Amino acid sequence: MTAPSAAGTGAQAAPVLATGLFDDAALFPPGDAPMAAAVPAHRDLRERLGDLVGPFVVPAARLGELSAHLGDGEPIDVSLIAATGDLPAAAARVGAHPGLTLAAVEVPVATDVAAAREAVRVLDDVLPAGVPAAVELPRSAARDEVLDVLADTRYRAKLRTGGVRAPLFPSPSELAGTLHACVTRDVAFKCTAGLHHAVRHTDPATGFEHHGFLNVLLAASALASGAPPTVATEWLAATDPGTVATAVRTWPAARATRARAAFTSFGTCSVLEPVEDLVALGLLPAPERISA
């Protein structure tokens, strides 16, 4: 399913919201798919959902395992997770493999200014101009200093929005503050972990409060339009699917494009879940074939 034109408003703008939004993080919790299943599943997702699906997220330590399961087919776009010291060799390994294309890089959390500057230095040395990269922000007082380093570069921030333990989920106010810090510095961001569904909800199995990816889009759009963090907090806390979907549905394509320029993508261990949410909310047409 290739995304149609971005022209127009409402339903016509919806594909702009979703194109390339869902990075395939099937290898990661809570899905933890084995490589032997994750690789063919990714190829199937790309065939069925086209431009909605972003790159296959893989840690540098699992590149050998990935290579062993590639089989035949077109090269796979990968988002490579690599620590600063491992990045040069890992990126070179991807670049030399005919079955892989380096589509993005993700650097683990930079705990302070020195770590952020070192990450930027290595990224500048290693990455071609067209390959995006994101550096994970610390959830500490060093956050803004790390963002100040990224603000002078072409690199993005990576925000952790959940995980396998409750403390890994930032509150709406904390996340709104981080989004505001990114937007005011014109630093684009991607999210990782916890964004399993479109709208904020309580996971029935764990009791954890999960952020919704549409809530994050609405918060980012509000901030990009000059709203204060309190407005972003309200959007992040919204739990009514109708309210959230209606707000997004009214956007012209230009506003959707601006929101996506700020919020570039998020990693999800099940690409189908968020896509199915958008279909259920009437924000995407149903693919010809979509099943679990």
CATH numbers and ranges of domains, the chain: 10-279 (3.20.20)
Q: Which of 267, 256, 244 is nearest to 195 (CA)?
A: 267
Task: Report the pLDDT averaged over residues 80-84.
Answer: 98
Task: Report the pLDDT averaged over residues 231-258.
Answer: 95
Tell me what the pLDDT averaged over the chain comes to: 93
Instruction: Kindly tell me if the per-residue pLDDT of 137 is higher than 50.
Output: yes
pTM, full prediction: 0.92
For position 152, what pLDDT does the model report?
87
User: Residue 90 phi/psi, 5° resolution?
Assistant: -65, -45
Q: Is 252 exposed, middle or buried, given 0-12, 13-18 or 19+ CB atoms closer than 10 A?
A: middle
Instruction: Kindly tell me if the per-residue pLDDT of 204 is higher than 80.
Output: yes
Task: Report the pLDDT averaged over residues 68-84.
Answer: 95
pLDDT top residue among 286 and 153: 153
Residue 63's pLDDT band, with cuts at 50, 70 and 90, is very high
